Amino acid sequence: MNYVTDDTLNTYLRTVQPMYDGVLGEIQREAIAAEVPIIPLETARLLSVLLSMQKPKHILEIGTAVAFSAGLMCRYLPPDGTLTTIDRFEVMLQDARTNIKRMGLEHQIQLLEGDAADILPTLQGPYDVIFLDAAKGQYSNFLPHCLRLLPVGGLLIVDDVLQGGTIAQTRFSVPRRQRTIHKRLRNFLWDITHHEALETSIIPIGDGLALCYKKKEVSDPEKGE
Ligand code: SAM
């Protein structure tokens, strides 16, 4: 996993901030040991603060993995709140199903199995928070759906937006195989930072987190612009 901040700082941030308790903490430790790409602790702690402030009733997550971040976000839902999460990778889905049961969250989490590109157009929403943590190359394609599904006042949180910090380099200085993602991520970052309906901040934490607050309706809902 690539991180934007240096190893010493990461180690410090992961020492000073406690891991999560209960079954969620067990899932977090198991995922780290198995090198499953869950959000790092410092990103998780920021999510905890944001969700405490936002007080969502309905959350959408794109990229479940083993349901660590899904379980975490459920902690900030009211008893009748819901979390819908999407993944397409059967190996992850198996562990996600098991972990959702272990956490006793079957009543709150709806796990949608398939490609988000196919599932997003079928969702009605609204979702007060959308957490986008999937294939970076598709973020721009998912953005119009996220904007459609978010109400005004909703928060879109996007993980892994800084490509280990190489996003700041010219495309010719990143390895050739990473250039397509580099270009797509740069276009995505341009879109969310210049969108008339969004107030956006990009935070160099973990592998980069973008926070997009929807401040007004989009003028062209068809295009999400
Ligand atoms: N949010 C998780 C956490 O922190 O606990 C980690 C998610 S992991 C970084 C990304 C996940 O997104 C993987 O499990 C992958 O299978 C899934 N994914 C990537 N692209 C996807 C797509 N187009 N549709 C559905 N799932 C996708």
C-alpha of residue 38 to centroid of ligand 1, in Å = 9
Question: Has this prediction a pTM greater than 0.85?
Answer: yes
Q: Which atom number of ligand 1 is nearest to the Cα of residue 37?
A: 9
Candidate from 38, 48, 74, 89 with most ligand 1 atoms within 8 A of CB, to mutate: 89
User: Is the separation of the CB atoms in 154 and 130 below 8 Å?
Assistant: yes
pLDDT of res. 87: 98
Nearest atom (ligand 1) to Cα of 89: 16
Helix (H, G, I), strand (E, B), or coil: what is residue 87?
strand
pLDDT digits (tens, 9 = 90+) for 35-48: 999 999 999 999 99
CA of 64 to the centre of ligand 1 (A): 5
Index of the ligand 1 atom closest to the CA of residue 43: 4
Residue 7: band (very low, low, confident or very high) from pLDDT cuts 50, 70, 90: confident
Is the distance from the beta carbon of residue 86 to the nearest atom of ligand 1 less than 6 Å?
yes
Alpha carbon of 134 to ligand 1 centroid (Å) = 4
Position 128 scores a pLDDT of 98
Higher pLDDT among residues 43 and 173, named by residue: 43
150 lines ligand 1 (CB under 6 A): no
State in Å: Cα 61 to ligand 1 middle: 9
Q: How far apart are CA 102 and CA 166, in angstroms?
A: 38
CB distance 116 to ligand 1 below 6 Å: yes
Q: Which structural domains are found in the chain, ordered by start?
A: 7-214 (3.40.50.150)
pLDDT, residue 223, reads: 58
Residues 6+ positions from 10 with CB-CB distance below 8 Å: 3, 40, 42
Shortest-distance Cα residue to atom 16 of ligand 1:
89
pLDDT, greater one: 1 or 108: 108
Kindly report, residue by residue over 94-152, the tens digit of the pLDDT.
999 999 999 999 999 999 999 999 999 999 999 999 999 999 999 999 999 999 999 99
100-138 burial: b if 16+ Cβ within 10 Å, else e: bebbebeebbebbeeebbebbeebebbbbbbbbbbbbeb
Give CA–CA dist 133/39, Å, rounded. 9
The mean predicted confidence, pLDDT, of the chain is 94
Whether ligand 1 lies within 6 angstroms of the CB of 138 is answered as: yes
Is the pLDDT assigned to residue 186 strictly greater than 80?
yes
Is the minimum distance from the CB of 68 to ligand 1 under 6 angstroms? yes
141 lines ligand 1 (CB under 6 A): no
